[in-house]
A = this chain, B = another copy of it.
Amino acid sequence: MGMVGGGLGSFIGPVHRMAATLDGEIAFVAGAFGSSAESSRAGGARYGLDPARVYDDWRALFAAERERPDPIDFVAITAPNHVHFPAARAALEAGFAVLSDKPATATLAEALTLAEIVAATGRPYGLTYTYTGYAMVRHAREMVRAGTLGAIRKVVVEYEQGWLSRPIEQADDRQAKWRTDPATAGIGGCLGDIGVHAHNLAEFVTGERVIELCAEVSRFGSGRTLDDDANVLLRFAGGARGVLISSQISAGARNGIRLRVYGENAGLEWSHENPDRLTLSPLDEPQRVIHAGMPGLSDAAQRATRLPTGHPEGLIEAFANIYRDFAASLQSGDAGERALVPGIDEGVRGMTFIDRALRSGAQGGWVGMDMGAE
C-alpha gap A214/B316 in the complex (Å): 39
Determine if A48 and B24 form an interchain contact, defined as CB atoms under 8 angstroms apart: yes
For A154, list chain B residues within 8 Å (CB): 229, 247, 249-250
Interface residues of A in 3-43 (CB under 8 A from B): 11, 14-15, 17-18, 21-25
Which of A109-117, A198-206, A279-287 faces chain B? A279-287
Decide yes or no whether A308 CB sits under 8 A from chain B.
yes
Determine if B252 and A283 form an interchain contact, defined as CB atoms under 8 angstroms apart: yes
Determine if B153 and A306 form an interchain contact, defined as CB atoms under 8 angstroms apart: no
By beta carbon, the residue of chain B nearest A293 is B254
Decide yes or no whether A57 CB sits under 8 A from chain B.
no
Tell me whether A262 and B241 are in contact in the complex, defined as CB-CB below 8 angstroms, given that A153-B229, A255-B310, A281-B253 are known contacts: no
For A242, list chain B residues within 8 Å (CB): 231
For A249, list chain B residues within 8 Å (CB): 153-154, 262
Determine if B256 and A11 form an interchain contact, defined as CB atoms under 8 angstroms apart: no
Determine if A22 and B18 form an interchain contact, defined as CB atoms under 8 angstroms apart: yes
For A18, list chain B residues within 8 Å (CB): 22-24, 306
Decide yes or no whether A47 CB sits under 8 A from chain B.
yes
For A163, list chain B residues within 8 Å (CB): 308
Distance (whole angstroms) from the CB of A71 to the closest CB of chain B: 20
Could you tell me how many residues of chain A have their Cβ less than 8 Å away from some Cβ of chain B?
Answer: 86
C-alpha gap A306/B18 in the complex (Å): 10
Decide yes or no whether A295 CB sits under 8 A from chain B.
yes
Decide yes or no whether A189 CB sits under 8 A from chain B.
no
Bits for A110-139, please: 1 = Cβ < 8 Å to B, else 0: 000000000000000000000000000000
Interface residues of A in 243-299 (CB under 8 A from B): 243, 245, 247, 249-256, 260, 262-267, 272-275, 279-291, 293-296
For A252, list chain B residues within 8 Å (CB): 262, 266-267, 280-283, 287
Decide yes or no whether A149 CB sits under 8 A from chain B.
yes
C-alpha gap A24/B229 in the complex (Å): 37
For A306, list chain B residues within 8 Å (CB): 14-15, 18, 316
Bits for A207-241, please: 1 = Cβ < 8 Å to B, else 0: 00000001010101000000001010101000001
